[in-house]
């Protein structure tokens, strides 16, 4: 059991042993992780807060005016009634059209109509309820989003195995995945493929995608049941010549026996609408009965959990999809702003003078980048940066930190990295 859960249970046994006795197995296992959210909370009052998974200007969140204004345009009937568990039908169609437009290689008949979820985490949880049993294996890159552990390991007792997506020099590599899959001998695996990646901001290029997809295909051909979850939270935030269709498309086009591609995407990051809680779950299957059965099962899971998603948010996303003219320009403006920040970040972090402080991991997309820091503990560095430099970063593990350039104004980026270098120097000097 996680030490944080143990601690909560011990406290509860002392404060209220009766309630402690009432907890279910999951009630005993669940805890609130000391992950990104608590590190973000500690960085709340910093001047340069590069911890959060949102996009901000120095004085406000980055959003689209059309979406901000949308509630003035909605009728009461688009706000107050229940939405159906599967989401508004017209919204589902609009999202499907968006998928087809952005993924020219995808054929409409090859995948199910997207079902609305209460954003991506809810989709991950639905997939867990539907496909994960205790003892199953979840295969993740070493660099992954921390919440996968809570969703799959804590709630469903799956075993997590990891593989590296970066070599010693910080360059992206497909070797880790390929080798892991070549040596994989169990009859079932759940994969999460998350590109643009949180926490490193990397998206593979066409050739790399080809290698990854072939490795997954050959595992399925060998008879392993492969549930391939494509977490497309940061879809569309591409700044270089990468594979800009979803990995879901590449996997779905295989129509491979034993392989179930599942796409999770949504308005959260794509539409700069984190709090609206609108996401989608889509299955890469082409058979009508399978599509209907999977939809009925997902509806059952939604009905038995949140009953249905929020009508105002779904109507808002529907509205902007129906009125794309200005909205698309606003979103592009935000993406351009992030791209400009990405370019400054890239020009700064590879500077020779920082070599003794960190080694960057390849990045080309999304909100974040990560570096391996030299001779300092990320957690000490994080605390030092808050205390002495008013800078918030995320300590990822024993060697790496994550910096959200999505939350730092372009002109401040050189200063922020300079101060991170200075803070590392302070700590390096202290330990000498
Ligand atoms: C990789 C990844 N997947 C999923 C999510 C969750 O998205 P949502 O807020 O839509 O639940 C996040 C949010 O930070 C994320 O980084």
* Predicted local confidence at residue 431, as pLDDT: 80
For ligand 1, the distance from its centroid to the CA atom of residue 200, given in whole angstroms, is 14
Which CB contacts under 8 angstroms, 24+ apart, belong to 34-39?
34/4, 35/146, 35/147, 36/146, 36/394, 39/382, 39/392, 39/394, 39/395
Rounded alpha-carbon distances, angstroms, from residue 55 to 51, 221, 237: 11, 41, 12
Asked whether the predicted pLDDT for residue 35 surpasses 90, the reply is no
Query: Tens digit of pLDDT for each residue in 64-73?
Result: 999 999 999 9
Nearby residues of 347 by Cβ (< 8 Å), 6 or more positions away: none
Ligand 1 pocket by C-beta < 6 Å: which residues? 53, 119-121, 145, 194, 198, 231, 233, 266, 268, 274, 279
Percent share of the chain, pLDDT over 70: 100
For ligand 1, the distance from its centroid to the CA atom of residue 146, given in whole angstroms, is 10
Asked whether the predicted pLDDT for residue 430 surpasses 90, the reply is no
Residue having the nearest C-alpha atom to atom 15 of ligand 1 = 233
DSSP class of residue 427 equals H
Atom of ligand 1 nearest to the CA of 119: 10
3-class SS of residue 230:
strand
Identify which of 121, 236, 278 to mutate to test ligand 1's pocket (most ligand atoms within 8 A of the CB).
Answer: 121
For ligand 1, the distance from its centroid to the CA atom of residue 21, given in whole angstroms, is 33
Residue having the nearest C-alpha atom to atom 7 of ligand 1 = 120
| Residue (of 193, 214, 199, 205) closest to 262 by Cα position | 193
Ordered by where they begin, the domains of the chain are 32-53+328-431 (3.90.1150.10), 83-322 (3.40.640.10)
Atom of ligand 1 nearest to the CA of 123: 11
For ligand 1, the distance from its centroid to the CA atom of residue 410, given in whole angstroms, is 24
For ligand 1, the distance from its centroid to the CA atom of residue 190, given in whole angstroms, is 18
For ligand 1, the distance from its centroid to the CA atom of residue 277, given in whole angstroms, is 10
Query: Tens digit of pLDDT for each residue in 184-210?
Result: 999 999 999 999 999 999 999 999 999
- Average pLDDT score over the chain: 97
Residue having the nearest C-alpha atom to atom 8 of ligand 1 = 120
Query: Tens digit of pLDDT for each residue in 130-174?
Result: 999 999 999 999 999 999 999 999 999 999 999 999 999 999 999
Identify which of 233, 271, 276, 369 to mutate to test ligand 1's pocket (most ligand atoms within 8 A of the CB).
Answer: 233
Query: Tens digit of pLDDT for each residue in 309-367?
Result: 999 999 999 999 999 999 999 999 999 999 999 999 999 999 999 999 999 999 999 99
Residue having the nearest C-alpha atom to atom 16 of ligand 1 = 198
Q: Provide mean pLDDT across the span 77-99.
A: 98
For ligand 1, the distance from its centroid to the CA atom of residue 52, given in whole angstroms, is 11
Atom of ligand 1 nearest to the CA of 279: 10
For ligand 1, the distance from its centroid to the CA atom of residue 120, given in whole angstroms, is 6
Is it true that the peptide bond before 199 is cis, omega within 30 degrees of 0? yes
- Which H, E and C letters describe 160-208, residue by residue? EEEECCECCCCCECCHHHHHHHHCCCCCEEEEEECCCCCCCCCCCCHHH
For ligand 1, the distance from its centroid to the CA atom of residue 211, given in whole angstroms, is 26
Asked whether the predicted pLDDT for residue 432 surpasses 90, the reply is no
């Amino acid at each position: 059991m996680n030490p944080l859960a143990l601690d909560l249970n011990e406290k509860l046994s002392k404060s209220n042993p009766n309630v402690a006795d009432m907890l279910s197995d999951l009630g005993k296992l669940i805890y609130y992780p000391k992950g990104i959210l608590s590190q973000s909370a500690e960085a709340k009052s910093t001047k340069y807060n590069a911890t959060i998974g949102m996009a901000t200007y120095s004085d406000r969140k980055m959003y689209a005016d059309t979406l901000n204004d949308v509630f003035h345009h909605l009728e009461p009937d688009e706000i107050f009634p229940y939405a159906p568990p599967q989401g508004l039908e017209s919204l589902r169609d609009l999202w499907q059209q968006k998928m087809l437009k952005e993924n020219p290689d995808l054929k409409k008949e090859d995948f199910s109509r997207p079902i609305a979820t209460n954003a991506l985490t809810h989709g991950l949880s639905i997939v867990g309820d539907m496909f994960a049993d205790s003892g199953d294996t979840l295969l993740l890159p070493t660099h992954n989003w921390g919440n996968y552990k809570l969703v799959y390991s804590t709630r469903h007792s799956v075993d997590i195995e990891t593989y590296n997506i970066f070599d010693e020099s910080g360059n992206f590599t497909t070797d880790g995945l390929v080798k892991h899959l070549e040596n994989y001998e169990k009859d079932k695996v759940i994969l999460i493929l998350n590109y643009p990646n949180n926490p490193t901001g990397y998206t593979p290029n066409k050739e790399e995608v080809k290698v990854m997809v072939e490795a997954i295909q050959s595992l399925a051909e060998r008879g392993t049941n492969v549930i391939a979850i494509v977490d497309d939270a940061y879809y569309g935030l591409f700044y270089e010549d990468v594979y800009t269709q979803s990995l879901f498309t590449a996997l779905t086009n295989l129509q491979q026996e034993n392989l179930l591609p599942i796409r999770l995407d949504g308005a959260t990051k794509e539409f700069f609408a984190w709090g609206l809680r609108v996401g989608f779950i889509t299955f890469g299957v082409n058979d009508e009965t399978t599509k209907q059965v999977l939809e009925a099962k997902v509806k059952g899971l939604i009905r038995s959990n949140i009953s249905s998603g929020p009508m105002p948010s779904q109507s808002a996303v529907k509205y902007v999809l129906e009125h794309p003219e200005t909205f698309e320009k606003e979103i592009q403006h935000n993406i351009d702003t992030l791209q400009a920040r990405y370019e400054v970040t890239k020009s700064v972090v590879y500077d020779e003078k920082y070599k003794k402080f960190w080694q960057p991991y390849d990045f080309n997309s999304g909100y974040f980048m990560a570096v391996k820091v030299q001779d300092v503990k990320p957690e000490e560095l994080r605390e030092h940066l808050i205390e002495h430099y008013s800078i918030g970063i995320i300590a990822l593990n024993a060697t790496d930190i994550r910096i959200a350039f999505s939350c730092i104004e372009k002109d401040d980026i050189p200063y922020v990295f300079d101060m991170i270098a200075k803070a590392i120097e302070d700590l390096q000097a202290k330990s000498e």
